[in-house]
Amino acid sequence: MIKGGTHGSGCTHSAAITAQLAKRIPLLEAARYAKEFVEQAISRSVAIGKGAARVNQLGFTLAEAEKYQVLKNVGEAVEMLENSREFSDLIPEVGCNIAMASRMPLRFRMLLQSQAGS
């Protein structure tokens, strides 16, 4: 919950649904997308001046960019470790895990999906 509330979530929600419907996305799927979109807009809202914080419609895009950066960083870490001759001496027989998370994942389910894919 954002202290003081937010401004613009209703308009953002209806615009997100409308945009998905314009792309011929079924209504239920459009509503689910809009909900996630607005959740990100609210979680990354910006308090400017007095009154309610404005929702940040770039929240979803920022979260996606963060996800890309996390994947890039993990890939670079794996490459660095694979190229290190001394590192293999530190790994037990069973192996090791390398992980990183974004500061604000799009949803908790994303973290679980990332773990399942490894």
User: Which of the pair, 7 or 115, is modelled with greater confidence?
Assistant: 7
Reported as a single tens digit per residue, the pLDDT across 4-34 is 677 888 999 999 999 999 999 999 999 999 9
In sequence order, the 6+-apart residues with CB closer than 8 A to the CB of 112 are none
Query: What pTM did the predictor assign?
Result: 0.58
Reported as a single tens digit per residue, the pLDDT across 27-60 is 999 999 999 889 888 888 877 888 788 888 888 8
Q: Cα separations (Å) of 89 from 46, 71, 95? A: 48, 25, 11
